[in-house]
Amino acid sequence: MPLPYAELEAYGRVTGRLSTPWEYETVRGMSEAYVSGLVEGRDLLSIMPLDRE
């Protein structure tokens, strides 16, 4: 499951590392891509990212 916005907001507030909306959207997008890659990687017939064009 990708990181929920509530957790991103809490992280940004506590650490001060996320301060603009685009930073939150970027981290959320990275989280979604990571989870998608994990799910896809479970498929034994999946094409490795390095082999894709």
Q: What integer pLDDT is reported at residue 48 of this predicted model? A: 87
Q: What integer pLDDT is reported at residue 50 of this predicted model? A: 86
Compute the Cα dihedral for 42, 47, 51, 53 and give only its sign: negative
8-52 pLDDT per residue, tens: 999 999 999 999 999 999 999 999 999 999 999 999 999 888 898
Contacts of 46 (CB under 8 A, 6+ apart): 40
Q: What integer pLDDT is reported at residue 22 of this predicted model? A: 97
Q: What integer pLDDT is reported at residue 17 of this predicted model? A: 95
Q: What integer pLDDT is reported at residue 52 of this predicted model? A: 85
Task: Determine the Cα–Cα distance for residues 28 and 32; give it in Å rounded to an integer.
Answer: 6
